[in-house]
Structure 1
Amino acid sequence: MKTMRATVTTVLIVGGVLTQHVVRAQQTEMTGIKRTDLQQHDLSAPGREAVQVRVDIGPGVAFGRHTHPGEEIIYVLAGTLEYQIEGKQPVTLKAGDVLFIPAGTIHAARNVGGDTASELATYVVEKGKPLLTLVK
Structure 2
Amino acid sequence: MFKTLLVTFILGGITISSSAQSLSPQVRRTDLQRHNISVPGLEAFQVRVDFDPGAFAPSHKHYGEEVIYVLRGALEYEVDGQAPVTINEGGVLFIPAGVRHSARNRGGSLSSELATYIVENDEPLVEPVD
Same fold (TM over 0.5): yes
Tell me what 2:41 maps to: 47
| Aligned Cα root-mean-square deviation (Å) | 1.6
Counterpart of 1:46, as a letter, is: P
**Which structure has the bigger radius of gyration?**
1
Q: Deviation of residue 29 (structure 1)? A: 3.1
2:92 matches 1:98: yes
Structure 2 unaligned runs (5+)? 1-16
Find 1:132's aligned residue among 106, 126, 130.
126
Matched, 1:30 2:24: yes
Normalised by the size of structure 2, how large is the TM-score? 0.82
> What is the rounded CA distance, in whole Å, between the counterparts of 1:71 and 1:135 in structure 2?
16
Task: Give 1 or 2: higher strand fraction.
Answer: 2
Q: TM-score, normalised by structure 1?
A: 0.79
Aligned partner of 2:106 in structure 1 is 112
Structure 1 runs not aligned, ≥5 long: 1-17
Could you tell me the percent identity over the aligned residues? 54
Distance 2:101 2:76 in 1: 11
After the TM superposition, which segments of 4 or more aligned residues of structure 1 sit over 6 Å from their partners? none
Q: In the alignment, residue 132 of structure 1 is paired with which amino acid? A: V
Instruction: Give yes or no for the alignment of 1:59 onto 2:53.
Output: yes
Find the residue that maps to 2:31 and give its secondary structure.
strand
